[in-house]
Each structure stands twice: as structure tokens, then as C-alpha cells.
């Protein structure tokens, strides 16, 4: 553990980009919450605390050898499922969903945290089963089962966004580990058949909800309005933006959830195209770091684990920014490291801690 | 770190080059995805940036709520009782009205009649947002024209057309229909009314409250684009509100109107019910209040006036008033005495004018005595001594069991809230509440409905309805149906049976006979004031002592001259052979049941049956229409 090489190989670049993103997040959050309502400013201080806790957990995450994660994966996975069951039993109900567990002074959202155990568990499985000509249908049954349990537990909360992310992460990892060509064709065929059949089985009101999700115009006073305002905010930023704290859209609290899911619109309005591209660039750098760590890793568990974490960050960034700019459906999806929210911040920092762990031990294992 | 790429010892099943290729593909995917995002940002911020910038400048795209129209309220035959009328409300959007002070100054010049109201609102903090602040409701057409003409001079001043509740017949069935009030902060926080926002009206009382979820509808909204003055340029999107459902009450407008007229200048209740279904046909409380006063917030003066009135106009006496049932309770006593085998149809007692029990004389209301009485006569002439005897034999607890079985002292389950449950005493109740054991003499008082007994007029009405229909106790219904605006029924008020009277058919026949003779026998207590030579009416009078007789003799000493006079009851039904209507009338301080309450009840019965008769004679063949002749044909004399 106190091997000199660990410190020599520490991924300072990854740490740097993480801290830059956190700092940017705090700056934007301050602007987003500095509206007429003085109560809002407490979000800023809470978020600072969450970053502090998250960075501490990040450090914890690279102190031990990540091989232990392989060993303990089933236990971690099992406990995370217990948390999800706990949410359904004693969770706090708010805004039409039961997503939160209240533990002392903290309110956590286990559906965010559970992404990491899923990644670890799947990495463990795929590392053992990866082969050059692809994984067959039968070997995919177990990871499908492993994914579906947390997926359904999250789906019934309901937290559509997070449930979808879990599936996307799992699919990305499977695709990376390579699925046998025939199996892949099979899956595509099954999907072609299943989607119309499933559509028929849905209640009319459920169909309506799916359609609304896909086209926000169907809900002009809800999602449609959010998208409209969000697009105005983003578009009005022009090249260099209206200036820090000068956004007009956010000042009027017209933007929904401007400190959580729609925080990117505040940044785009105040910092313009230049600011948006900078943050986009920072995320690309983060993702490249993640893939590079997978690239440098010398065992398949570490590599697939890194790919899983990178996939998680990628999907969240892509869906969130796509949603804010109006090219993706409006689902609950925080922007990694930027959006307000303790569970999201902690999940991301733990994930990055694991990436650092894999990175600094690339010569040891 | 690329120089280490050739040593992937730990990849047992795949080689390192294979992994590198796959990672490379992933990188391509990431770059394509971010390319899409970058293109989208370029499109929004550079290509269409100016368009969005202009829209953002004045926060030009706004969401406006469109309030749903509240459902209407009708009587049973579809006569409109409560509707909505347009109201023009003057509002200001502070952020558009730059500067606010100057705009207000100009506004006051154009509509000086509202200067006070406007300045009162604007003297408080009105904020500086894009949320409209209400200045004055219902400004009328003249002011509307004056403001519209100067619209360009008045940035940020917006006139909203809203629907305003209109109680077409102010005061009519006011306690039943109820009124609206503004939602309070607590109700908003608890999200009891999910579709309501601050400033919205909700049902606060009566049917307006009980049926609020049906009446209120679902708000819609529209997305509009406004110009720099805050005036609408274009509607971008609309979601139509869903209008509230219409409520059809069970009450009959004409009968209700008759009852209210009869109660004028009196304090009390007059109610009627269909004994076959439990549908309430009329529910008049007096004094009443004007529901229109509550629209837009009742003024402090009016509220104080209502609350300080000693006759308590806001009290729904019919369901909230608790009164001693007095002699009407003798029906229960008779039922219990027959049911427990204490008396039968042949049992008689001699009434000398008083009854001695435990060194005390319990007087009959007729001091010279009734002579020999059987149960039918005792009911008809309301002989106290007969029922003292029954009460003594029954005891409080047995009598209470029957009273409960008749639905007295228990909630009837009527749909409007704050129903009072009354009180039927038991020995255990007295021990627990008062602390002293039950006295034998009290059995005598409660047998004639005095003492601790308390009932609501609605309980008595429902009970007599059951006596009239052969023993079925119905839950009083006030809502006949709730229909969508298209006319489809959302809910239908079906008769609901609460129970059966604790009596068999023969015994009930005796009681019905007693009630018939109370009105029709020459000696019957209600003969003088209720008897009708066309319609046979059955019923029971009651005279409830407010204070003991001794105090009454000492005379009034506290202001109100009426406060020592007894309450007058009449409960009855008609036509006796085939009851169509059961009525319950209580006149506070009406002195005697027969003279105080009887005429009101009779008038209600006659007017209702006449209208029913007229209606059916318009439809049916003339041979079947001699209801009145039939009922008038034979009086029972005994």
C-alpha cells in the first residue's frame, strides 16, 4: 500500500480535471441559486459539504487495491439491493416518487449509488467470460438477471432516468466485452418483435406517458414548457454569454430545476457558446482519461470496470445535455459533478476514486 | 503510458490488441456523441442565438394558467341554483409595469372609483416578478372599457376574465349549498388540493365543500409570447382546462322556497325527505345568510355581524343543532315498551293528570288527566303518564338500545360535514360524565324525551321516514347525481339502507295508527293545526322545555324575552296510506309543537303533494288522479 510506485503513478491529471469540474459546478450552482429567494443559497453550502464528503470517499476508494472489489462484489451488490428494497419499504415520498432514504441528517438516493455496485458486479462477470469471438446468449443471461433486479427496483420508485442509465451502462459494458454476432442479431430481432407487442399491452394512459416522454410538445405546460424555456436560456447565451450572475432566465425562477437537472442551461446562458464548449471539452477529457485507464490496465476486471465507470459518466453527460438542449426526452438526469445533489456527487466521486485506484495500480497487479 | 501496451499478462482469454481496438471504437462513439452536442449548441447559440436572445430579453414566453369553470349546482328537477358569471379582474404584472408607481398613478386617474382598493394593494409589497398581482376583482364594464382604451398607456396592467360564483337565490338552502373561501397556506403546503394554487377558491362549507373535488375541475394553461409591455402577442400552446362537474341536489326548489318563506321571522328548521329513498327534499334553516357575501372574501363587518347574531345564522341547525326530542321521543318509548313485552295493543292505563314516583308527582301536560289510555290514544294525545309507566318499567339502558336502533343519537352519515351526533343517555354514560348514579325518576323524564336526550332534526326526520315506509332506516341523501358537462353521470346517489327499526310489522302498525290519530282524531294533539280535509297526514308534536317550569314562572331575567319559551316540534308524513313525504319542523321558542311547528309542516306537505299531483295528472290518465279525494274520504274516529 505504501509502495513508492503508487504515488509515482498517481493520476494527477484525473484529479485535476475532477477538481476543475467540481469548482465549475460550485460556481454555476452559486449563480443558479442566487435568485430573489435567500433560502436558495443554502443549496450552495450543502453542495460544498457534499463535495467535501465526496472527495473524502474518493480518497478512500483508491487506498486499497481494487482487486478487493472483485472479491467483495457479490456482497456489495447484495447490500446495495437491500438499500433499494429499504427505499421501497421506508423511503421518503416526495413529488410523486419514493426515492430517498433518510439516515440521520442525510437524505440519500440509493438509486444513484447503486450504479457502482452494478458496474463492479458486471465487471467481475464479464472479466471472467470475455472471449475474442463474443459472449453467447446463454452467458448473457446472468448479467441480464443481475441488471434487471436493480433496474426494476429503481423503475418502480419510479425513477425512469436512473433505471434507464443502469440498462445503458450494462449494455455498454456488454457491447465492450463483445456480444457474439448471432446473439446480437437475435436481440435486435427480439426487440423488433417485442416493441409493437409491448406497445399493445400498455394501457392507453401508459402509452400517452411514453409518447409525452418522447415528444415534450405533448405536454406543453410541463416538459414542453421546460424545454422551451431551457432552449431560450441556452440559445440566448450567444457566443460569450450574458456574464456570470447576469442570466435573465434563471433570475425569474422560470427555469425548472435550474440547480439540478437543468443547471447546464444556466451555464450556457451566462457563459455562452464558449463556456458550453469548454465544459463539453472538460467532460471529453474526463472520458478520455477513463478510457485511457482501461487501456493501460493489465487485467480484464480493471479494464472493464474502468469502461463501465466511463460509460456511466458518458451517458449521464450526453442525456443531460441532450435534454437541456432539446434533443433528448426529459427524464430525471443530473449532470455529473455539476448538478446539485449529494447522492449524484458522491456516486461520481466514488466512481472517479475507483478509476484512480485502477490507474495507480496498473504496474502492480 | 503507451509504451507498456505490449504486456497484458492478465488477459487470459483475449489478447491486448483486441482490447485496444475495442477501446478505440468506444473513443470514436464518445467523440461522435459530443460532436452532436457541440453541433446542437452551435445551432442554438450561434445560428438561432439572436432569436432566443430576443425572447429572453423580456422573458417573452410565459405560462399562464387558465382556470377551469366550477361546476353548477341544480335542484332535483334540474333548476339552476348556483352558476358562474363573468368577472373582470384588474391585475398588474410588476416587471412589465416599469415604473410601477407611475403606472398606478395613471391607472387611478382612469378608474378613480377603485382608487382606494388599488392603493391599498399597491401600498403593500407587490414584488417585481412576472406573476400577476390582483388589484381589484369584478371591475364592471365601464371600468373595463376605460382601461382597455388606454392600454398602451398602462404597461403591465392586465384584465383577466374569470368566472365568479353566483348564488342565484341568495340565502336559499345556504347551509346546504355552502360557500367558497380562499385556500390557505396550510392547505397548500399539505397539498390537499393538488390543482389549486394560492388565491384560488375552494368549497368551505356545505355541498360546495363536500363535492369540491367534482365541482372544481382541472386547470389548463397556455404558453404565450408577450411584447415589451407585457401584452400578449401570440398564443404558442394551449391546454384547455377541464370544467368541473355539475351537481344535482335532491332538494326540490319549490318546496325549499316554501319552507324558507314559512320560516321567515322564525328561528328554526324545516326539512322534508322522501321516505322511500332517504332523499332530502328540503332543508331550510332560519335565520340564513347570503352566500354571495363570501365571494372574494367576506368583509370584516359582515362577518362580525353574522358571528355576533344571537340566533346564529351560520349554524346548520338541521344537522348541527342538538335539541331535546320532547314528545316526539314517545314513539321510541312506545316501540321499546311493545318490543320488550311491557305493553301490547290492549294494555291501558288511567291518566289522572299526574304520576307519583318516589315521593314526587310527575305531571301530565294535561292537568285534568286523559282518562283511560291505550298506546294508540297515548300517542295521539301525547299522554305523559302512559309513557312514565313505560319508562319506569323499561329503564334507561333498554330504552337507549331502541333509540340507537332508531338512529337517534348517532350520525346519519349525511354527506356534508360537521354533523352533530346528539345524545342518548345510558346509566354508564351518566356515571362516567356526570359522576352520579342514574336515578329511578330520570327513567320517567327520558321516556317523554326530556332529560339528557338530544337529537338533531335530521335524525328525527330519518327516523320518522322509517316509521312511514314500514321500518327501513335510510341514509339521508343530498346529492342526486354528479354529471359531467356532457351529462354523463359520474356518481349517482343511490338509496342506502342504514338499518331496520327494532319493531315488527304489527307493532309498527299500532304506532302508525297513533300518529295518524294525533292529526286526525278530534282529541289528537295536532288536529287543530295540522289536520287537512284533503290529505291524510300522520305525525307527532313535541314541546321541548328549554328550562325547568319553575324558572319559567320566575320570569325572564336575561334580555331575550323568548329564551324561556319551549321549542316546538312537529314530525310527520303524508299521505298516511302511501307516504310520499316526511317532514320535520323545529321552531325554537315556538312554545307548542302543534301551534308553533304544525302549520309550517302542514303547509309544506300540502304544497309538495299538490305539485306532485299536478305533475302526475299532466302525465297519467285522469282516473288515477284522485289521491286527495281518496285520502280525504274516511277519518278514523275511535
Task: Read off the pLDDT of residues B124-174 as tens digits, 9 standing for 90 and up.
Answer: 766 666 777 888 888 888 888 888 888 888 888 888 888 888 999 988 999
Assign domain B253-290+316-483+492-620 to a CATH class. alpha beta
H helices of B363-520, where? 375-381, 384-394, 396-405, 427-433, 440-447, 457-469, 505-520
H helices of B151-251, where? 174-177, 185-189, 206-210, 212-215
- Rounded distance, CA B117 to CA B108, Å? 10
Neighbour-count burial of A185, counting CB atoms closer than 10 A to its CB (0-12 exposed, 13-18 middle, 19+ buried): exposed
Mean pLDDT of chain B: 84
pLDDT of residue A222: 77
pLDDT of residue B555: 43
Residues of B within 8 A of A273 (CB-CB) are 41-42, 45-46, 49
pLDDT of residue B287 exceeding 70, the answer is: yes
Residues of B within 8 A of A225 (CB-CB) are 63, 223
pLDDT of residue A96 exceeding 80, the answer is: no
Share of chain B above pLDDT 70, in %: 91
Res. B475 pLDDT band, cuts 50 70 90: very high
Res. B110 pLDDT band, cuts 50 70 90: confident
Mean pLDDT of B282-290: 91
User: Can you spell out the DSSP letters for B288-349?
Assistant: ---GGGGTT---HHHHHHHHH-TT-TT--HHHH--B--GGGGHHHHHHHHHHTTS--TT--E
Q: Are B189 and B165 in contact (CB under 8 A)?
A: no
Tell me if residue B218 falls in helix, strand or coil: strand
- What is the C-alpha R_g of chain A? 21
Count of C-beta atoms within a 10 Å radius of residue A157: 21
Does the beta-carbon distance from B45 to A300 stay under 8 Å?
Answer: no
pLDDT of residue B10 exceeding 60, the answer is: no
Q: Of the candidates A229, A234, A318, which has its C-beta nearest B33's C-beta?
A: A318
The reply to whether A116 falls in a domain is yes
Task: Write the pLDDT tens digit of every residue in A50-79.
Answer: 999 999 999 999 999 999 999 999 999 999
Share of chain B above pLDDT 90, in %: 32
* Parent domain of A27: 4-360
DSSP B594: I
Q: Of the candidates B7, B41, B61, which has its C-beta nearest A232's C-beta?
A: B61
Q: Which CATH superfamily is domain B62-249 in?
A: Penicillin-binding protein 2a (Domain 2) (3.90.1310.10)
Res. B493 pLDDT band, cuts 50 70 90: confident
More confident residue, A40 or A333: A333
Q: Of the candidates A225, A273, A287, which has its C-beta nearest B42's C-beta?
A: A273
Residues of A within 8 A of B44 (CB-CB) are 231, 234-235, 325-326
Does the beta-carbon distance from A291 to B30 stay under 8 Å?
Answer: yes
Share of chain A above pLDDT 90, in %: 51
Mean pLDDT of B432-449: 87
Mean pLDDT of B341-359: 87
Mean pLDDT of chain A: 88
Res. B530 pLDDT band, cuts 50 70 90: confident
Q: Degrees (nearest 5) of the Cα angle A323, A328, A334?
A: 40
The set of residues, in sequence order, having a beta carbon less than 8 Å from that of B555 and lying 6+ positions away, is B564
pLDDT of residue B638 exceeding 50, the answer is: no
Task: Write the pLDDT tens digit of every residue in B311-341.
Answer: 888 888 999 989 999 899 999 999 999 999 8
Q: Of the candidates A217, A225, A298, which has its C-beta nearest B7's C-beta?
A: A298
Neighbour-count burial of B421, counting CB atoms closer than 10 A to its CB (0-12 exposed, 13-18 middle, 19+ buried): middle
pLDDT of residue A36: 60
Q: Pick left, alpha or beta for residue B354 (phi over 0 → left; psi -120 to 50 → alpha; otherwise beta).
A: beta
Residues of A within 8 A of B55 (CB-CB) are 232, 236
Domain range summary for chain B, segments of one domain joined by +: 30-59, 62-249, 253-290+316-483+492-620
Q: Are B70 and B83 in contact (CB under 8 A)?
A: no
Residues of B within 8 A of A254 (CB-CB) are 59, 62, 130
How many structural domains is chain A composed of? 1
Residue of B nearest to A294 (CA): B23
Does the beta-carbon distance from B237 to A362 stay under 8 Å?
Answer: no
**Is beta strand B246-249 parallel, antiparallel or unpaired with respect to B73-74?**
parallel
Residue of A nearest to B35 (CA): A280
Q: Are A14 and A22 in contact (CB under 8 A)?
A: no
pLDDT of residue A281: 96
Does the beta-carbon distance from B52 to A254 stay under 8 Å?
Answer: no
Res. B13 pLDDT band, cuts 50 70 90: low
Residues of A within 8 A of B10 (CB-CB) are 298-300, 365
Tell me if residue A100 falls in helix, strand or coil: strand
Task: Write the pLDDT tens digit of every residue in A134-147.
Answer: 888 888 999 999 99
pLDDT of residue B1 exceeding 80, the answer is: no
Q: Are A146 and A125 in contact (CB under 8 A)?
A: yes
Does the beta-carbon distance from A300 to B11 stay under 8 Å?
Answer: yes
The reply to whether A365 falls in a domain is no
Residues of B within 8 A of A287 (CB-CB) are 30
Task: Write the pLDDT tens digit of every residue in B228-247.
Answer: 777 778 888 888 889 999 99
Q: Are B285 and B168 in contact (CB under 8 A)?
A: no
Mean pLDDT of B442-457: 89
pLDDT of residue A223: 78
The reply to whether A105 falls in a domain is yes
Does the beta-carbon distance from B11 to A224 stay under 8 Å?
Answer: no
Does the beta-carbon distance from A231 to B52 stay under 8 Å?
Answer: yes
Q: Which of A112-121, B130-139, B365-374 has the lowest mean pLDDT?
A: B130-139
pLDDT of residue B2 exceeding 80, the answer is: no
pLDDT of residue B581: 94
Task: Write the pLDDT tens digit of every residue in B47-83.
Answer: 999 999 988 887 778 888 888 889 999 999 999 999 9
pLDDT of residue A170: 95
pLDDT of residue B461: 94
- Rounded distance, CA B587 to CA B317, Å? 11
pLDDT of residue B550: 40
How many angstroms separate the CA of residue A86 from the nearest CA in chain B?
A: 25
pLDDT of residue A331: 82
Q: Are A304 and A281 in contact (CB under 8 A)?
A: no
How many angstroms separate the CA of residue A119 from the nearest CA in chain B?
A: 17
Mean pLDDT of B416-432: 87
Closest Cα to residue B476, out of B316, B318, B607?
B318
pLDDT of residue B551 exceeding 90, the answer is: no
Residue of A nearest to B237 (CA): A220
pLDDT of residue A255: 54
Does the beta-carbon distance from B56 to A314 stay under 8 Å?
Answer: no
Within 13 Å of residue A170, how many CA atoms lie on the same side as its CB? 25
More confident residue, B283 or B596: B283
More confident residue, B421 or A221: B421
pLDDT of residue B625: 43
Residue pointed to by grid coordinates 457566443: A239
Count of C-beta atoms within a 10 Å radius of residue B594: 26
Mean pLDDT of A302-327: 94
Amino acid at each position: 500500500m505504501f509502495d513508492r510506485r503508487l504515488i509515482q503513478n498517481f493520476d494527477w491529471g484525473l484529479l485535476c480535471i475532477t477538481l476543475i469540474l467540481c469548482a465549475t459546478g460550485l460556481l454555476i450552482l452559486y449563480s443558479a441559486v442566487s435568485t430573489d429567494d435567500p433560502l436558495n443559497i443554502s443549496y450552495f453550502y450543502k453542495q460544498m459539504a457534499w463535495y467535501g464528503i465526496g472527495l473524502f470517499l474518493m480518497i478512500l476508494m483508491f487506498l486499497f487495491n481494487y482487486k478487493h472489489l472483485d472479491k467483495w462484489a457479490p456482497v456489495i451488490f447484495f447490500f446495495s439491493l437491500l438499500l433499494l428494497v429499504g427505499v421501497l419499504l421506508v423511503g421518503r415520498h416526495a413529488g410523486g416518487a419514493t426515492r430517498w432514504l433518510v439516515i440521520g441528517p442525510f437524505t440519500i438516493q440509493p438509486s444513484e449509488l447503486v450504479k457502482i455496485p452494478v458496474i463492479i458486479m458486471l465487471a467481475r462477470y464479464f472479466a471472467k467470460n470475455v472471449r475474442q469471438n463474443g459472449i453467447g446468449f446463454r452467458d448473457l443471461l446472468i448479467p441480464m438477471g443481475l441488471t434487471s433486479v436493480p433496474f426494476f427496483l429503481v423503475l418502480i420508485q419510479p425513477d425512469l432516468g436512473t433505471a434507464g442509465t443502469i440498462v445503458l451502462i450494462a449494455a455498454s459494458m456488454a457491447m465492450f466485452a463483445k456480444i457474439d454476432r448471432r446473439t446480437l442479431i437475435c436481440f435486435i430481432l427480439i426487440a423488433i418483435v417485442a416493441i409493437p407487442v409491448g406497445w399493445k399491452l400498455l394501457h392507453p394512459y401508459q402509452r400517452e406517458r411514453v409518447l409525452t416522454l418522447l415528444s415534450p410538445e405533448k405536454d406543453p405546460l410541463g416538459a414542453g414548457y421546460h424545454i422551451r424555456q431551457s432552449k431560450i436560456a441556452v440559445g440566448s447565451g450567444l457566443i460569450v454569454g450574458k456574464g456570470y450572475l447576469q442570466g435573465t432566465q434563471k433570475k425569474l425562477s422560470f427555469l425548472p430545476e435550474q440547480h439540478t437537472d437543468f443547471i447546464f442551461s444556466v451555464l450556457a446562458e451566462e457563459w455562452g457558446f464558449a463556456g458550453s464548449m469548454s465544459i463539453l471539452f472538460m467532460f471529453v477529457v474526463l472520458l478520455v482519461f477513463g478510457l485511457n485507464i482501461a487501456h493501460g490496465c493489465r487485467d480484464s476486471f480493471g479494464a472493464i470496470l474502468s469502461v463501465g465507470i466511463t460509460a456511466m459518466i458518458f451517458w449521464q453527460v450526453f442525456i443531460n445535455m441532450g435534454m437541456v438542449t432539446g434533443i433528448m426526452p426529459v427524464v430525471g438526469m443530473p449532470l455529473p459533478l455539476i448538478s446539485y445533489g449529494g447522492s449524484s456527487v458522491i456516486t461520481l466521486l466514488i466512481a472517479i476514486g475507483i478509476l484512480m485506484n485502477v490507474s495507480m495500480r496498473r504496474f502492480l497487479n | 503510458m503507451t509504451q507498456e501496451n505490449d504486456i497484458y499478462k492478465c488477459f487470459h482469454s483475449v489478447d491486448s490488441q483486441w482490447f485496444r481496438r475495442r477501446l478505440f471504437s468506444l473513443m470514436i462513439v464518445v467523440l461522435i456523441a459530443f460532436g452532436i452536442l457541440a453541433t446542437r449548441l452551435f445551432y442554438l447559440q450561434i445560428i438561432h442565438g439572436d432569436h432566443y436572445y430576443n425572447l429572453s430579453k423580456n422573458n417573452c414566453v410565459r405560462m399562464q394558467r387558465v382556470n377551469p369553470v366550477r361546476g353548477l349546482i341544480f335542484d332535483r328537477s334540474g333548476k339552476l341554483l348556483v352558476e358562474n358569471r363573468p368577472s373582470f379582474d384588474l391585475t398588474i404584472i410588476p416587471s412589465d409595469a416599469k415604473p410601477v408607481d407611475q403606472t398606478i398613478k395613471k391607472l387611478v386617474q382612469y378608474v378613480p372609483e377603485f382608487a382606494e382598493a388599488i392603493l391599498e394593494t399597491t401600498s403593500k409589497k407587490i414584488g417585481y416578478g412576472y406573476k400577476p398581482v390582483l388589484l381589484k376583482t369584478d371591475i364592471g364594464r365601464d371600468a373595463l372599457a376605460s382601461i382597455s382604451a388606454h392600454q398602451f398607456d398602462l404597461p403591465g396592467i392586465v384584465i383577466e376574465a374569470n368566472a365568479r360564483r353566483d348564488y342565484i337565490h341568495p340565502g336559499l338552502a345556504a347551509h346546504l349549498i355552502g360557500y367558497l373561501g380562499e385556500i390557505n397556506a396550510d392547505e397548500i403546503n399539505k397539498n390537499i388540493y393538488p390543482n389549486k394554487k394560492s388565491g384560488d377558491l375552494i368549497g368551505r362549507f356545505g355541498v360546495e365543500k363536500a363535492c369540491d373535488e367534482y365541482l372544481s375541475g382541472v386547470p389548463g394553461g397556455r404558453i404565450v409570447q408577450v411584447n415589451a409591455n407585457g401584452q400578449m402577442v401570440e398564443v404558442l400552446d394551449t391546454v384547455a382546462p377541464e370544467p368541473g362537474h355539475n351537481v344535482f341536489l335532491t332538494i326540490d326548489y319549490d318546496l325549499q322556497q316554501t319552507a324558507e318563506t314559512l320560516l321567515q321571522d322564525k328561528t328554526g328548521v324545516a326539512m322534508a325527505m322522501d321516505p322511500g329513498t332517504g332523499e332530502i327534499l328540503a332543508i331550510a334553516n332560519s335565520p340564513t345568510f347570503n352566500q354571495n357575501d363570501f365571494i372574494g372574501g367576506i368583509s370584516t363587518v359582515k362577518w362580525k355581524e353574522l358571528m355576533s347574531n344571537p340566533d346564529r345564522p351560520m349554524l346548520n341547525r338541521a344537522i348541527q343543532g342538538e335539541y331535546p326530542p320532547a314528545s316526539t321521543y314517545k314513539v321510541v318509548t312506545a316501540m321499546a315498551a311493545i318490543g320488550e313485552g311491557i305493553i301490547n295493543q290492549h294494555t291501558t292505563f288511567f291518566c289522572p293528570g299526574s304520576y307519583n314516583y318516589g315521593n314526587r308527582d310527575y305531571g301530565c301536560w294535561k292537568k285534568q288527566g286523559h282518562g283511560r289510555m291505550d298506546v294508540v290514544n297515548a300517542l295521539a294525545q301525547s299522554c305523559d303518564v302512559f309513557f312514565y309507566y313505560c319508562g319506569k318499567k323499561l329503564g334507561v339502558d333498554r330504552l337507549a338500545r331502541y333509540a340507537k336502533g332508531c338512529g337517534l343519537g348517532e350520525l346519519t352519515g349525511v354527506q356534508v360535514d360537521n354533523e352533530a351526533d346528539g345524545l342518548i343517555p345510558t346509566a354508564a354514560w351518566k356515571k362516567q360524565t356526570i359522576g352520579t348514579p342514574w336515578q329511578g325518576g330520570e327513567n320517567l323524564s327520558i321516556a317523554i324525551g326530556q332529560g339528557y336526550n338530544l337529537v338533531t332534526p335530521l335524525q328525527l326526520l330519518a327516523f320518522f321516514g322509517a316509521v312511514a315506509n314500514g321500518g327501513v332506516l335510510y341514509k339521508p341523501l343530498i346529492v342526486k347525481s354528479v354529471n359531467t358537462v356532457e351529462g354523463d353521470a359520474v356518481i349517482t346517489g343511490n338509496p342506502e339502507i342504514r338499518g331496520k327499526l327494532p319493531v315488527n310489522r304489527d307493532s309498527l302498525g299500532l304506532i302508525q295508527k297513533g300518529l295518524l290519530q294525533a292529526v286526525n282524531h278530534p282529541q289528537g294533539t295536532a288536529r287543530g293545526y295540522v289536520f287537512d280535509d284533503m290529505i291524510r297526514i300522520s305525525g307527532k308534536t313535541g314541546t321541548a322545555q328549554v328550562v325547568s317550569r319553575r324558572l319559567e314562572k320566575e320570569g325572564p331575567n336575561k334580555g331575550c324575552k323568548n329564551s324561556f319559551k319551549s321549542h316546538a316540534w312537529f314530525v310527520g308524513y303524508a299521505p298516511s296510506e302511501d307516504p310520499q313525504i316526511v317532514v320535520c319542523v323545529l321552531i325554537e321558542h315556538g312554545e307548542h309543537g302543534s301551534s308553533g311547528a304544525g302549520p309550517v309542516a302542514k303547509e309544506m306537505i300540502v304544497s309538495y303533494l299538490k305539485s306532485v299531483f299536478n305533475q302526475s295528472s299532466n302525465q297519467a290518465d285522469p282516473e288515477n288522479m284522485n289521491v286527495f279525494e281518496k285520502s280525504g274520504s274516511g277519518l278514523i274516529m275511535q
